[in-house]
Every structure is written in structure tokens, then in C-alpha cells.
Structure 1
Amino acid sequence: MLDETRILGSEEWCRLEDMGIPAIKARVDSGAKTSSIQANKVKIFTKGLEDWVRFEVNPLQDNRSISILCQAKLYDVRSVKSSQGISEERPVIKTPVTIGEHTFEIELTLANRDTMEYRMLLGREAINERYLVDPSKSFGQGNVSQEEISRKYKPYMTEKSGLTLGLLASNPELYSNKRIVEAGELRGHKVVFLNVENVYMKLDAGSPEIRYRGGNILDKFDAVIPRIKPSVTFYGCALLRQFDTLGVYCLNSADAISKSRDKLFASQLFSKNDIHIPITGFAKSPMDTKDLIRMVNGSPLIIKLLESTQGKGVVLAETNKAAESVINAFKSVQTNILVQEFIKEANGQDIRCFVVNGKVVASMQRQAQKGEFRANIHQGGAASLIKITPEERKLAIKSAKVLNLDVAGVDIIRSNRGPLLLEVNSSPGLEGIENATGMDIANVMIETIEKKLKYSH
């Protein structure tokens, strides 16, 4: 008969006494060679003549407030392939582990497992010649109750305090930025304004860093809210990628923002995903201007710079001759433009849907000023509350999803052939839509961060 003390289930409780971790749930995975543990803020340092590694572990999946600072002698730095097939360099340590009644030494790679269900993975090197695995069981070596967990972790528990959030933007006086700071603080969080141009970074496999003017290391943030203006898109997205490397959640990723700011690429993604937009043309050579105009159903038509935002860099050409002149003038100075059909029946109106975490949380209708063709409250247009149709709601949600944006301002126009997507803004302003709808959208954004981080008051 098999010795029950040598049979593991698909998940087991482990104790790592040398690291000060009284209980951590591990997934037993014989498909993985090396065991690994969730680690944040990993930093390699020298102690005497030896390399050591310092890191933080959040041992309980749904509780970020418990963080245990660990350090161990660096055993190796190894290239490990993730479940997505991506290879990355990870520090490796050796430490004793206790499972049930047995204690033995294992190798552990330090990995960012924030998105994983288990904070630890037990690989086959730890299992071989020690245990058999019965995947139909759980906790073959004994379960740990919630009461025991609370007792074991009581020394690590502090008074519930809020998150530390970074607002990555350029102007602290803007309405939207003020509202986000206010909403975060009202929910008990610390919100720090970070001027994009005052943040810089250290690129290093062993100890990457982000610093702020004067040399302050930014290593205490739970999440970053990007409000990056178009002129600093490249640098702002580089900073977001660095925050992501350090395990900081970003409300809109660098990749999603980059896609949304490249209007040509975004339009191609929308077409590919069966999202209807006004007929749009793009060409490099001035030789094709006449056909380009015909392709989008002739004048009047819209000409917009690829990097245009908030209605700036958008021109209405009322005749074919005017369109040719404007298009060729832009091309003569090597400026990329899109040419788009003009939706006359919209009568200068469009709809802004504010999408947060896959839901339309508010919608407003914008009416252009007399003599203007584009509804734009930044240029004096009027905004009012509107009830959108199920089709418009579906279009707004799908458009944000295609770009992987957690927060998006989705602009829609009503046409004779149904709603059409105009564009998606990754840093939508709050003033117009909060005033028009009475919705506290800044609060919804902060709530979304709390949900993503599984934070509870």
C-alpha cells in the first residue's frame, strides 16, 4: 500500500521558514522543471564577496497588504520560458521547504506571478524521488484553514491602508488630473502626481529602476494612471513598460496607448474586427490624390493628421479641388494624413462614450458650433446627456476591447447606415462628460484599479 505521506495533490500548502513565510499555497506542476515563487521588487546586491537577492513576496493571492521582505544567497540566474513561450532571465535561490511532515531543500526561481492563481509553483525537480502526484486530490499533505491563515499572518497584518497610485501626466492643474487625485484620496489612497518629463529609468536585467527628479526611486506604487499627452507618447509609453516590468499595474498599457495613437493602425484593426468606420483612405504618393478622393465618395471630405487629437489637425474640404490642394500640401511636407468620407446626415453631432473596464459608464452627445463640422467641446461645442442604443453600446465596448484599453473615450457618429466609429481616445478628458452626465467617472476609474488589484476597504 502506498505511503499516504508521499502522495501530493494538485495543490499543496508549503512552509518556507528561512524566508519567514508560514504558509503559501503551491500548484503542483510536474510539467514545469523548476519550482518558482511570486516575487516583486527583485534586487541583486553584494554581501561580502557573494551575490545575494532581496525581494518581496505577497504570499496570499487576494491580499496585497501582506508583503514579506525576503533575502537569500543568489544561486544562479537562469533563462526560463514562461507559459506564453517567452524566455526571460530569472534569479534562482535555494531554500528549505516544508510540506506536511517533510522538509527538504529546493531551487526556486523568482518570478512575477501576480496574474497567476497560485503564488508558488512546485516543479518536478522538487517532486522527483520524493512524491507521487494524484491530480484528483487537493492538499494530500494537509489543508490549512482560514482561521489558521489569519493566525499565522497576524504578525504581518497592519492597519488597512490605501493604495499608492501614481498619476503619470504633464499638468497637475488640468480638471481631469485634479479630479483623479481627489477621487483617489476620497477613497483613502495616496495619489502622487508624476510629471512624465521628470521621470527616468534604469534598464538592467538584475535591478531595473524608475527614478524621479533628484534621484528618488519610485518603488512603492501599486498602480499607475497614465494621462499622457500626444507630444510625449513615445517617452510616456516607455515609462509604462518600465513600470510594468517592475510589477506595477497600469490603467491602460503602453501597447494599448500606442495602438490608439496610431490612427492608421487603429483603423486597420477596426476594419479587421468588423467595426464600421467612415470610408477611409491613405496614400503616400501625390500621383494618386484624385483616385483617393473618389475612393472615399468625393467631396466634401475630412482630412486629418495621423497624430491629430481633440479635433486639432482635422480639416473639412468642401470641394474636390480644395481637397486636392490640402492633400498635396500636406504630402509636400512629408506629413501623413488620412482622408475620410464626410457624414453629412450627422449634422455636426457625435457621441462620446466613456468606457471603463469593458462597460460604458457614461455617454454624451456633442454638437458643433455653427459653422463648424466637428462636434468638439474643446473648441466651444455643446455637450448634453444622451441615451445610446444597444448597437452603439456594443460598438463602444468592442472598440475599446480591440485596442485592449481599460479606459477609453469612444467617439461615434450616427449615419444612414448605422453607427460608425470615429476614433478611440486613450486619455479622454473628464470635464465635459462629468458636467454633462453628473457621473463621478474619476471614482469609477479608481474603483477599477481596486478591482484589478483585488483591494478591499
Structure 2
Amino acid sequence: MKDLKVIGSEEWCVFEHLGVPAIKARVDSGAKTSSIQATNLKVISKGTQEWVRFEVNPLQENRSIAIQCEARLIDRRMVKSSSGISEERLVVKTPVTVGEDTFDVELTLANRDTMEFRMLLGREALNERFIVNPAVSYAAGDFSNAEIDLKYAPFKKEKTGLKIGLLASNPNLYSNMRIMEAAEARGHEIQFLNVELAYMKLDANSPEIRYRGGTILSDFDAVIPRIKPSVTFYGCALIRQFTNLGAYCQNSAEAITQSRDKLFASQLFSKNDIHIPITGFAKSPMDTKDLIKMVNGAPLIIKLLESTQGKGVVLAETNKAAESVINAFKSVNTNILVQEFIKEANGQDIRCFVVNGKVVASMQRQAQKGEFRANIHQGGRASIIKITAEEKKLAVKAAKILNLAVAGVDIIRSNKGPLLLEVNSSPGLEGIENATGKDIANEMIVAIEKKLKFSI
């Protein structure tokens, strides 16, 4: 015991053989095996051995630096994540340096984007080497910010790419941060633009968009709109202005407006032979009883036309309850849709993420116990799923009808086949990236490059 060195609850690790100059690790004696953040995994052969080629983003909240690594594959193991989900992980073995000590360590390759640290140092690496003092950090040696910047300077790409604007409201949202990271990782200059801090000059000779303080926003090659529902009208006006100034907007103002109008969108889907749950709409309370009957009676769904992320959606379990809710909404001049309830779905739906006419990822969402609708914003669970060719075709067609280059398409499985629930023009990335391990933000940036015929 006297010969064991003391390390803290967090330590810097160096992987010389992998080419990773420094990565912060959470020291966790409760975990048996160590783990490192890894994406784009590919098993390759070297002679008679299997190796793994993968990418490591060693700095937290910074995907602009990606290091290509290779290591020998020694095992495939079922590992239970912190969320309780078991999955198969590839295991590699490679030397690691902690302070002055270098030794071989087994690492499971995992997507740790949602974790505080990009690496976890488990007890197999600690045994007979270290004692952990959880009250201290970096006892084996610390690096300053300047030292880290110097170590990673060779990996930073020169910005010689496109000039992109991210038009949204909150720069700290996971989706917005990921898009910024993905653009920077591909060498582009990207600027966050708060919808409500931008204003326009409408003039035939010199139209402009200005930002708080008078800065003129000009020379954008592309704009990625992520407009929250409460600012749809103004956000779409800005998108039209950017289009007039020559910028490519990934989703047009017209497409966003159509997707936000659930009644109009439903009419477009019906017109184009896309199957949706039977839906009713009426103005007068005098038609409530027949409206309920038209969608096969209770239980049924009552949905605000402007609802988003599952808010403003109500399940009425009896005809009497449905009448009360519908008439209450109508009494305050609130527009609603009434929709049949698909009981056999069992609180599950499918989110397909469509980019430029292709489903790049899909996940299944399961409602939490006691809820009728799957919603990861309200405690629902997400998991990866393989969708059918029919479901893929439905998702692509729905996005195309609304003319959305980027869309989150929600589908429900019924006894009649897949039904379209709705299409989101600003779909979130967090749930689907974590469930599938796919870099969807990168897909969005690559789609812009293809549209503008830009090559790195």
C-alpha cells in the first residue's frame, strides 16, 4: 500500500500510441473497465489480427478537433450504460500515461458525448498502481489552458470554408452547440444569430439585415434556421430577407410556415396520399358530437394547431370528456384538431431524421408509464430502431411535400400500416444522436456543402 501513488477524482491521460496528447478522465473505481469517447468505428484486418479504426474528440464540447486512432481489438463485451441500457462495445488495448506512469489499459469504445468527461478510468487500470483521493483533482499532474492549446494547435483546421449563420434563439441548446461544432470541425466559419436581435432594412437599392448595435450581417453563404414556434412569423421574415440577399437557407420560410400550420400540413398530406390518423376540424361547437363520431369516437386526441414537443396535446378517454375539452378550447377561440387514437401503438412512435431527401437516422420513442404519447422532453425513452422500407419512403415523401431539406418526421405504427403524425422543421438532435450514435449535425453541414457545390 505504501508504494501506491495517490491520484485524484479527475486526471489527465496521454495516449502516445493513439496520437491523443491529453484527455481528461473521470477516475471511477466503481467501473471495472476504462472507457473512451469514440465515433465512426470500423473494424479492419491487419494480418491475422482485428484492429479498430475510430475517431476521438478529446476535448469536451469541442468536435472541431477529431483525432483518427487505431488500436488492436481484443474483445466484444456487453456493457450496461449509466442509463441502464445494455449494448455491445468493442474493447481495445493500448498504453496510457498518467503522470509519470505508463501502462497498458483496456478501453471500451463508447459514445460519451453526454458525459461530463470524454474518458473514464476504471478500477482495472487502478489496481496495484494508485490510491484515489476523491477530494483532489489532477494530483498526477495538471495542464494549463495554454498548454492544452499548444498541444492541440496542430489539429486545428484553418477556416477557409463557408460563412454560415445559425438563426435561432438559445446558443446553449444541445442542437445549436452541436451544429456550431460540426461546422467548425469542417473548417467553416459559423456565427450564432439570435432571431430577436436581428432587424431588417427593406429597400430596393440596398436591402440589409442588421444586428443589435448596428452591425450589418452580410456575405453569408448559408443560413441554418432553427426557429422556435413563438417567433415563427418574424423568423420566417428574416429567412426571406437572407434569401433575398443571396444566402442559401437550409429550410425556406415557406416550408417552415407550412410545417407549423398543422391543419394545412394535414391537408397537404391527405392530398398527396400520405396516410395520417383520421383527423377532424370544425369551427362551431354545434358540430362537436359529429366531429367526435367522425374520428371513431373516444378515446381520441385533441391537439392545438400550434402545439410543439408534445405540449398542447390531450387524450380524452370518453366522449363526454372529449366534448368538454373541445368546447372549452372553442369558447376561447383556440383552434384545435381532433384525431383518432391509435391504441395498438402502445405509447410508441418513430422519429425519422431526414436530410436532403434521405433518412439519416431513426429512433423509437416510448412514452413514460401513465402517458399516452412518447416524448423524450417529458420523460420518454429513446432507442435505436430499424425502420421498414415503407416507413422510410413515408418519411422522405412527407419532408418532400413540405419542401423541407431538414425535417424530423414522426410516424406511428398501426394495424393499417405506418401513419404520419407530424413533421418538425427544427428537429432536436440530442435524443436521436444519443440513441443512434450518429453525427447528425455533420450530416446537416455536409448537405449544405453539397447544395453549394463546396468541397473541402
Judge same fold: TM > 0.5, yes or no: yes
* Contact 2:210 2:216 (C-alpha < 8 Å) held by counterparts: yes
Q: Deviations over 1:317-361 (max 9, x none)?
A: 000000000000000000000000000000000000000000000
CA contact (8 A) 2:358 2:396 kept: yes
Aligned to 1:291: 290
CA–CA distance in 2 between the matches of 1:240 and 1:273?
27
The runs of 5 or more residues in structure 1 that have no matched partner are 1-158
Name which of structure 1's ranges 202-211 and 334-343 shifts more when overlaid on structure 2: 202-211
Deviation at 1:414, TM superposition (A): 0.2
Q: Which amino acid aligns with 1:415?
A: S
- How far apart in 1 are the matches of 2:213 and 2:340? 50
Superposition map of 1:161-200 within 5 A: 161-200=160-199
- Residue 325 of structure 2 is matched in structure 1 by 326
Q: TM-score, normalised by structure 1?
A: 0.65
TM-superposed CA distance for 1:207, in Å, is 1.1
Report if the CA contact (8 A) 2:163-2:190 is conserved: yes
Checking the alignment, whether the CA contact within 8 Å between 2:159 and 2:187 is kept in structure 1 is: no
Aligned to 1:420: 419
Mapped partners of 2:376, 2:227: distance in 1: 20
Alpha-carbon distance between aligned partners in 2 of 1:307 and 1:426, rounded to the nearest angstrom: 13
Aligned counterparts of 1:197 and 1:237: Cα–Cα separation in 2: 12
Q: Map 1:299-338 onto structure 2 (within 5 A).
A: 299-338=298-337
- Give 2:344's aligned amino acid: E
1:13-28 equivalent positions in 2, closer than 5 A: none
Query: How much does 1:163 deviate?
Result: 0.6
Residues in 2 aligned to 1:434 and 1:420: alpha-carbon distance in whole angstroms: 24
Within 1, Cα distance between the matches of 2:288 and 2:184? 53
For 1:337, give the aligned amino acid.
Answer: I
Per-residue displacement from partner, 1:218-243 (whole Å, max 9, x unpaired)? Answer: 11211000010000000000000000
Deviation of 1:376 after TM superposition, in Å, equals: 0.5
Q: For the residues of structure 2 that align with 1:380 and 1:164, how far apart are their CA atoms?
A: 37
Match for residue 224 of structure 1?
223
Distance in 1 between residues matched to 2:343 and 2:212, nearest whole Å: 50
What's the counterpart of residue 250 of structure 1?
A: 249
Cα drift, residue 285 of structure 1: 0.1
2:335 alignment partner AA: N
Query: In 1, Cα distance between the equivalents of 2:206 and 2:379?
Result: 49
What does 1:336-355 correspond to in 2, within 5 Å?
336-355=335-354
In structure 2, give the amino acid aligned to 1:296: V
How far apart, in 1, do the equivalents of 2:452 and 2:209 lie? 21
Deviation at 1:160, TM superposition (A): 8.1
Structure-2 separation of matches of 1:324 and 1:187: 54
- Paired positions, count: 299
Whichever residue aligns with residue 174 of structure 1, its letter is: L
CA contact (8 A) 2:175 2:430 kept: yes
Tell me the equivalent position of 1:376.
375
Find the residue that maps to 2:308 and give its secondary structure. Answer: coil
Deviations 1:64-111 (A, max 9, x none): xxxxxxxxxxxxxxxxxxxxxxxxxxxxxxxxxxxxxxxxxxxxxxxx
SS of aligned partner of 2:442: helix
Which secondary structure does the structure 1 equivalent of 2:334 belong to? Answer: coil
Please name the residue that 2:205 is paired with.
206
Could you tell me which residue of structure 2 aligns to residue 86 of structure 1?
A: none
Match of 1:33 in 2: none
RMSD: 0.8
Deviation string 1:236-268 (CA, Å, 9 cap, x unpaired) is: 000000000011000100000000000000000
For residues 212 and 162 of structure 1, the distance between their equivalents in structure 2, rounded to whole angstroms, comes to 23
What residue number does 2:365 align with? 366
Deviations 1:5-46 (A, max 9, x none): xxxxxxxxxxxxxxxxxxxxxxxxxxxxxxxxxxxxxxxxxx
Identity %: 86
Unaligned runs of 5+ in 2: 1-157
In the TM superposition, structure 1's runs of 4+ consecutive aligned residues that sit over 3 Å from their partners are none
**Hey, what's the Cα distance between the residues in 1 that align with 2:321 and 2:370?**
17
- Cα distance in 1 for residues equivalent to 2:369 and 2:327: 28
2:257 is the alignment partner of 1:261? no
CA-to-aligned-CA distance 1:181-229 (integer Å, 9 cap, x gap): 0000000001100000000001111111111111111112110000100
Name the counterpart of 1:3: none
> Within 2, Cα distance between the matches of 1:173 and 1:448?
23
AA aligned opposite 1:225: I
Please tell me whether the aligned partners of residues 159 and 188 of structure 2 are also in contact (alpha carbons under 8 angstroms): no
**Which secondary structure does the structure 1 equivalent of 2:370 belong to?**
coil
SS of match in other structure, 2:419: strand
CA distance in 1, matches of 2:162, 2:327: 52
Aligned mates of 2:286, 2:159 — CA distance in 1: 66
TM-score, normalised relative to structure 2: 0.65
Per the alignment, residue 281 of structure 2 pairs with 282
Aligned to 2:441: 442
Cα distance in 2 for residues equivalent to 1:205 and 1:270: 37
User: CA separation in 1, counterparts of 2:356 and 2:273?
Assistant: 21
Matched, 1:454 2:456: no
**1:258 partner SS:** helix
Alpha-carbon distance in 2 for matches of 1:160, 1:441: 21
Residues in 2 aligned to 1:219 and 1:378: alpha-carbon distance in whole angstroms: 36
